[in-house]
Amino acid sequence: MAQSYDAIVIGGGHNGLVTAAYLARAGKKVLVLERRHVLGGAAVTEEVFPGFRFSVCSYVVSLLRPEIIRELDLPRHGLEILPLDGTFTPMPNRDHLWRMSDHARTRREIYRHSPTDAEAYDEYSKAMVDMARFVKPILSMVPPDPFSFDLAGFGRLLEMGNRFRGLARTSQHNLVQLMTMSAADMLDQWFETDVLKATMSASGIIGTFLGVRSPGTAYVLLHHYMGEIDGAFRSWGFSRGGTGAISLAIAGAAQEAGVEIRTDAAVARVRTRNGKATGVVMANGDEIEARLVVSSADPRVTFVKLCEPGILPAEFLADVNHFKYRGSSGKVNLALDGLPDFKCMPGPGAHLRGAISISPAVEYMERAYDDAKYGDFSRRPYIDMVIPSLTDPSVAPPGKHVLSCFVQYAPYKLREGTWDEKREAFGDTVVDTVSEYAPNLKKLILHRQVLTPLDLEREWSLSEGNIFQGELSLEQLFFLRPVAGWARYRTPLRNLYMCGSATHPGGGIMGAPGRIAALEILKDWDRGKVA
């Protein structure tokens, strides 16, 4: 046992790297071990086909915490966020809805569909900003534990209660609705234009096995809206060089602080002695010692696969086994010989530079879910597309483009057959669906990569292919993420911590779980609890 560290971080996704960077900046000797050949986890850029670099999984960014960008000085390490201008929704009747970052232009566009909705849009935007402001501090907070006697936690709960009481009556009302309603029902209260409600409701179902009419999805909508009130661009953006460039910028900051990073380094087991984590055993049999281990993998991987049987309390493992993954998304990445030409707005133009959403009607969205509910992928799926090569030409050869399609629903559990048998049929369905709106697409395709939930599980260790390491549903958030009583980055195994998206505040390229986990670990260190 030659090697010894203060901390080993399992997983070189962006959260693992954030944790490592903060620990090293506090003077700890840190090692990051990543199973794959490349860093980034689900925030990764890979040259899937020669000359074409894809943000293979996550493709847009908005929630990356400003304090992390600042404290780790990420721009100096190569982070550059380019604006993603708006969302374009083509419609089957050759009309479209195009919401832009410019509020006034969006308002005019909505007016074209419904003057009443244009009025309501102003009010809605204000209400969402109010609610996001209320909820946002929670993103940087250690969740209080209502199940234990924790004075600091009670203080935080009390403060939230007081802030709630300080909200205007309508905001209080809106917030309660948001916590309890479906995205579509909530939007029905504000708007009448079907395509507007369908496109907006899509944010409520990303990464969940729920439909736009399922209660609880309104809150997820707010979670995704939150980034829009951050920072300079007030909206979603691309990272130059793909989302992997975010992870690499964090890795750069971590290495500068002294972190050692190894790829192609799969951990097989967390090593324990006397009920404490003492390091890891690698897949090749090597053992590496550390005073503590932090896992950025999801709870099933961390506690069921990497921890020795019998080491964790049965009650805790039962809760871990109840944590819901239920992956529901797939990804289709296309290398293109040119740009798709939309029937409703022919030719190239700014509408191709933002997100392009195949979400023509609320019923379309709900029917897409119906297929998944009964164990099939959606015959007519919801698709969120981006063409990053228009904003960042470095990712494709001159004149060529990369098109990334995020797709729902692709249920992990199929009623018939396997994903290995159905992968290409799923890819065909996605291409056929987009081709209904942009008929030239098929002849532009040079290469195609289709990722099913099974691929996300196999290649990225995301259990059941859940893109957020576990559903972002209300019953799995805040002090319940991942497990009641263990939502504060600590685990029942002493010196084993968690820091990935399965912990508060959840998934997305945020870095928040990684940062809060590191600060909590450092507190334990200061209090002498790491032994």
Ligand X SMILES: Cc1cc2nc3c(=O)[nH]c(=O)nc-3n(C[C@H](O)[C@H](O)[C@H](O)COP(=O)(O)OP(=O)(O)OC[C@H]3O[C@@H](n4cnc5c(N)ncnc54)[C@H](O)[C@@H]3O)c2cc1C
Which parts of this chain interact with ligand X (CB under 6 A)?
10-16, 33-36, 41-43, 57-61, 63, 266-267, 296-297, 301, 306, 329, 331, 406, 456, 460-462, 467-469, 500-501, 507-509
Separation of alpha carbons 12 and 318, rounded Å? 27
Q: Tell me the three state secondary structure of residue 239.
A: strand
The nearer residue to ligand X, 10 or 135, going by C-beta atoms, is 10
- Shortest spacing between CB 177 and ligand X, in angstroms: 25
- Shortest spacing between CB 437 and ligand X, in angstroms: 21
- Shortest spacing between CB 440 and ligand X, in angstroms: 26
State the virtual CA torsion across 525, 526, 527, 531 in degrees, nearest 10.
30
The nearer residue to ligand X, 297 or 530, going by C-beta atoms, is 297
The nearer residue to ligand X, 191 or 419, going by C-beta atoms, is 419
The nearer residue to ligand X, 411 or 500, going by C-beta atoms, is 500
Strands 260-262 vs 30-33: parallel, antiparallel or unpaired: parallel
Separation of alpha carbons 85 and 423, rounded Å? 31
The nearer residue to ligand X, 91 or 312, going by C-beta atoms, is 312
- Shortest spacing between CB 314 and ligand X, in angstroms: 23
- Do 196 and 152 touch, CB atoms closer than 8 A? no
DSSP 440: T
- Shortest spacing between CB 466 and ligand X, in angstroms: 8
The nearer residue to ligand X, 296 or 429, going by C-beta atoms, is 296
Burial-class residue 258 by CB neighbours within 10 Å (0-12, 13-18, 19+). middle
* Selection from 36, 79, 73, 87 nearest residue 57 by Cα: 36
The nearer residue to ligand X, 118 or 250, going by C-beta atoms, is 250
The nearer residue to ligand X, 120 or 280, going by C-beta atoms, is 280
- Shortest spacing between CB 333 and ligand X, in angstroms: 10
Strands 276-282 vs 287-295: parallel, antiparallel or unpaired: antiparallel
Q: Indicate the residue type of 383.
A: I
The nearer residue to ligand X, 10 or 317, going by C-beta atoms, is 10
Q: Indicate the residue type of 530.
A: V
- Shortest spacing between CB 520 and ligand X, in angstroms: 16
* Helix residue spans in 136-242 (DSSP H): 151-165, 169-180, 183-188, 194-201, 217-225
- Shortest spacing between CB 148 and ligand X, in angstroms: 25
Block residue for tokens 């403060």: 159
* Selection from 121, 265, 270 nearest residue 199 by Cα: 121
Q: Could you tell me the two tokens for 344?
A: 């409703």
- Shortest spacing between CB 472 and ligand X, in angstroms: 9
CA distances (Å), 325 to each of 179, 207, 439, in order?
A: 20, 9, 35
- Do 497 and 10 touch, CB atoms closer than 8 A? no
- Shortest spacing between CB 336 and ligand X, in angstroms: 19
Neighbours of 192 (CB within 10 A): 13
State the virtual CA torsion across 283, 289, 294, 300 in degrees, nearest 10.
40
The nearer residue to ligand X, 153 or 237, going by C-beta atoms, is 237
- Shortest spacing between CB 297 and ligand X, in angstroms: 4
- Shortest spacing between CB 16 and ligand X, in angstroms: 5
The nearer residue to ligand X, 120 or 499, going by C-beta atoms, is 499
Task: Give the rounded distance of the alpha carbon of 380 from its chain centre.
Answer: 23
Q: Could you tell me the two tokens for 324?
A: 């819901």
Crossing angle of helices 217-225 and 115-135, in 10° steps, is: 80
- Do 505 and 484 touch, CB atoms closer than 8 A? no
Separation of alpha carbons 23 and 26, rounded Å? 5
State the virtual CA torsion across 421, 422, 428, 430 in degrees, nearest 10.
-150
Separation of alpha carbons 15 and 106, rounded Å? 34
The nearer residue to ligand X, 9 or 183, going by C-beta atoms, is 9
